[in-house]
């Protein structure tokens, strides 16, 4: 026997309420899982950077890849020595939108700054032939490089965070707006791992306890 119209409307209303409550909680849980994934991958990349430096006289890997992409993790971390496994996947930021599908994984990676590489006229570990450096024509001033190195150390990795885009605090090299989950699970800010806080996920808070 079919339900009376009033009862049917009540059932539909209850379903709407449950969806309104359940869907946001599901999305929050999914976002929190992606944040944790981003942190873990950048920490692994940080260990790969440190291992590379041990084998290369204390110099960190260049921040321009073999295709000329500036301020990204480079091929040197995976070849010829595999400092990180599954590098193509582990370079990729789960929050970055695929705005440039023709470029494949390259446009989806975490951002990486080697501050010394933005200061040196030549950088021997460069994967490119010749005296390449990321100190290019659009690069901010050396004051920006100095400010960034003082804040983050020799290198900085950053993920887009739930807002899906880079969040510079006025100057991408010098300072980023930090993702703070207390502002909302999906809120402005980047997830940052750097030489000075490699073992500690940096947010607008001092840390997340579960990431210590």
Sorted by where each begins, the domain ranges of the chain are 5-211
Give me the mean pLDDT over the 21-30 stretch. 59
* 71, 107 Cβ separation under 8 angstroms: no
Q: Could you tell me the CA-to-CA distances from 211 to 39, 82, 201 in Å, in that order?
A: 8, 26, 6
Q: What per-residue confidence (pLDDT) applies to 182?
A: 86
Q: What per-residue confidence (pLDDT) applies to 4?
A: 66
Q: Tell me the pLDDT tens digit for each residue of 122-177.
A: 544 444 443 444 444 445 578 888 999 999 999 999 998 888 888 888 888 888 88
Mean pLDDT of the chain: 73
CA distance 127 to 123: 10
Q: How many residues does the chain have?
A: 212
* 65, 74 Cβ separation under 8 angstroms: yes
CA distance 162 to 37: 12
């Amino acid at each position: 026997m079919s339900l009376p119209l009033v009862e049917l409307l009540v059932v539909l209303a209850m379903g709407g309420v449950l969806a309104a409550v359940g869907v946001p909680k599901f999305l929050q849980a999914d976002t929190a899982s992606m944040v944790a994934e981003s942190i873990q991958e950048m920490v692994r990349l940080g260990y790969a950077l440190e291992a590379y430096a041990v084998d290369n006289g204390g110099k960190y890997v260049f921040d321009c890849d073999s295709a000329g992409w500036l301020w990204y993790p480079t091929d040197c971390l995976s070849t010829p020595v595999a400092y990180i496994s599954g590098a193509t996947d582990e370079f990729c930021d789960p929050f970055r939108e695929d705005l440039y599908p023709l470029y494949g994984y390259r446009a989806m990676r975490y951002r990486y700054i080697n501050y010394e590489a933005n200061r040196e006229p030549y950088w021997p570990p460069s994967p490119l032939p010749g005296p390449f450096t990321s100190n290019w024509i659009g690069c901010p001033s050396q004051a920006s490089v100095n400010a960034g190195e003082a804040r983050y150390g020799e290198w900085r990795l950053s993920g887009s965070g739930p807002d899906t885009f880079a969040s510079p605090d006025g100057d991408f090299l010098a300072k980023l707006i930090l993702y703070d989950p207390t502002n909302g699970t999906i809120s402005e800010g980047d997830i940052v791992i750097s030489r000075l806080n490699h073992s500690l996920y940096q947010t607008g808070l001092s840390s997340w306890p579960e990431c210590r």
